[in-house]
Amino acid sequence: MRHWTPTELAAHLNTQQPLHILDVREEWEYEIAHLEPSTLIPLGQLPSKLSHLDNHHEWLVVCHHGIRSAHACYYLERNGFQVINLTGGIDRWAKEVDHDMPLY
C-alpha cells in the first residue's frame, strides 16, 4: 500500500490525471465533507460491494483520519486492487489543503 499526504494528493489533482477516490466513511460523514469526485462505500459494506469497483484502476482511499481507509486498503490489496491511503484522512486534507471544508 502506498501512502499520500494531502499535499501529495493536491499536487496530483493539479496534474489533471484521472484518479479514482473511494471514501469508506459513513453516509452522514460524507454529507458533511467529501472529495469530488468520489465513490462512497462505507467500510462495513465494502465486502458486499467489492464488485462495484473496477480493479483495473488504482484507488485512493479516504476516511476521517486514515485508520478505516488503511483497513480498507489492506482488504482491497488482498483482493487484487492497487491502492493509496490518504494519510490523516479528510480531516488532515481540510486542515492542510482545503480550509473551507467543514471539520467534524
pLDDT in tens, 20-74: 999 999 999 999 999 999 999 999 999 999 999 999 999 999 999 999 999 999 9
The band of 17, judged by pLDDT with boundaries at 50, 70 and 90, is confident
Structural domain contains residue 42 = yes
Structural domain contains residue 35 = yes
Structural domain contains residue 101 = no
CA distance linking residue 103 with residue 86, whole number of Å: 16
Give me the helices (H) in 1-104, please: 6-14, 27-32, 46-49, 67-78, 89-96
Structural domain contains residue 13 = yes
The band of 15, judged by pLDDT with boundaries at 50, 70 and 90, is very high
Structural domain contains residue 65 = yes
pTM of the model: 0.96
The number of domains in the chain is 1
Where in the sequence is the domain holding 22, given as residue range(s)?
A: 2-96
Please write the tens of the pLDDT for every residue from 62-104.
Answer: 999 999 999 999 999 999 999 999 999 999 999 999 999 999 9
